[in-house]
Amino acid sequence: MRNSQSGRLILNRIRIALAAAVAMAGLAATMPASFGGEIDYPSFQWTEPTYGAFLKELKAAFEQENAGVTVKETFIPFASFANQMFVDISSGVAPDVLTAFDPDFKRYIEADLLEPLNAYLEAAGIELEGFISPVDLAMKDGKIYGIPFASNPRALFVNKQLLESAGLAVPTNAEEFEKVVRALRDTGNQTFGLALSAYSGGPSQQFLEYSPIFASFGARFFTKGEPTADTPEMLKALSFYKMVVDENLVPKGAKFEVFRPMFVNGKVGMYAAGPFMAAVTKAGNPETYKNLVTIPLPLGSGRPISVTSFLAIPKGAKNKDEAAMLLVAILQDKWQARLVELASVIPGRKNTIPASFLEQNPWFETFNRLAGEAVSYAPEGMEQYGSDVVALIGNRIEAMLFGGVTPEDAAKSIQSDMVAFVASKK
């Protein structure tokens, strides 16, 4: 992106001629007289201590530098966000900015609900090659329908102090991992070796939480569009999941709003999460933060996964050009760096992580390294049906965890469901 010049961001032809040449620098823009309005930006991230801090800082600067444009911060809870956005946009009640994760984004593209961003990005001098690899999920037929906002490769956070106090080393394989899980379980003090989602309902959130564990075992529900839920690796992953729940080795029944604070407050020894968790921990408990180390999950030889959020502009948006201005602002080096500093995530454009941040936060290097090899947690080859697939899998997982179904039968049922689902789409 061309932003080496000193001066203001000039996009005054973005509304009239989207192929205009633009000089990139600061945040401000010279706009046509008709340019203005309120950018409707609903998100569950507005109230988060990490993303929320970034978004509010961005909003304040953007509004100050772009007179006549405001950003409306509408909070929608995470649990209902994905479904509400798709219903609203597909029924013609579209916001100006859409936030969507990997398993949901493709269905917007396939339903032809999003505005192509090529002309906006070209006008701003932003090359597609400069985006991180998850951008592929936002592409179709040479058009780009969303920008990667933030990517969170999954790795294992370890509270080194908890392990050392129990005479345990950071695990290097599946056997040592299970040993830590068992050894740190203390019913008297309500401490756990591992935080892992295990409650009834919420299949999308559940999937997000157990996917890193499954991926480390090498378990994949789909490979190149074909169901692969009945492999030995999947059986190992399902068996482990059922074991830790049956034996109360994880905070059974607790949602992430509960077990994440438990980790922050030193009640959990290990938690598989994205780099954002470090920022959450630092804000909530500096003592735990200083004892954090990060490692790739050591359960098997499977590739790590990443969870990426995308920002897009619905076709039904009322203020498309203003929304594009905001997305372009986010992609500037300054704001890419601030996103890393405030939210501890991999930003959407390559080579924008400040060197000083890496030096001051050695735990981040694990994620920086994994970002190059991680794959999306969306079902491979079936991304446009991600939400449907996750719901079907969730029903079978729940039956295994709480309905007495064996891991063997769960694997067979998931495979059967996926085969039937694929056949229904042909």
Weakest-pLDDT range from 26-35, 71-80, 102-111, 346-355? 26-35
At residue 103 the predicted structure's pLDDT band, cuts being 50, 70 and 90, is: confident
Cα gap 394→201, rounded to integer Å: 8
φ/ψ of 307, rounded to 5, equals -120, 120
Q: pLDDT digit string (tens) for 151-173?
A: 999 999 999 999 999 999 999 99
In this prediction, residues 313-320 reach a mean pLDDT of 96
Q: 76: closest CA among 98, 57, 56? A: 98
Cα gap 165→113, rounded to integer Å: 54
Q: pLDDT digit string (tens) for 385-425?
A: 998 999 999 999 999 999 999 999 999 999 999 999 999 99
Tokens linked to 78: 């995470």
In this prediction, residues 28-57 reach a mean pLDDT of 80
Look at residue 353 and give its three-state secondary structure.
coil
pLDDT exceeds cutoff 90 at 267: yes
CB 183 within 8 A of CB 175: no
Q: Which pLDDT does position 78 carry in this prediction? A: 86
- Residue 211 makes CB contacts below 8 A (sequence gap 6+) with 154, 305, 377
Q: Which pLDDT does position 204 carry in this prediction? A: 85
- Residue 392 makes CB contacts below 8 A (sequence gap 6+) with 414, 417, 418, 421
pLDDT exceeds cutoff 60 at 33: no
Q: pLDDT digit string (tens) for 365-393?
A: 999 999 988 999 999 999 989 989 999 99
Tokens linked to 403: 């309905």
At residue 13 the predicted structure's pLDDT band, cuts being 50, 70 and 90, is: very low
List the beta bridge partners of residue 98: 312
In percent, the amount of the chain with pLDDT more than 90 equals: 82
Q: Is 92 exposed, middle or buried (0-12, 13-18, 19+ CB in 10 A)?
A: exposed
Residues in the chain: 426
CB 326 within 8 A of CB 120: no
Weakest-pLDDT range from 26-30, 36-40, 46-50, 326-330? 26-30
Q: Which pLDDT does position 35 carry in this prediction? A: 57
User: If you average pLDDT over every residue of the chain, what do you get?
Assistant: 90
pLDDT exceeds cutoff 50 at 4: no
Q: Which pLDDT does position 1 carry in this prediction? A: 44
Q: Which pLDDT does position 201 carry in this prediction? A: 85
Cα gap 249→144, rounded to integer Å: 44
- Residue 292 makes CB contacts below 8 A (sequence gap 6+) with 157, 158, 159, 160, 278, 281, 363
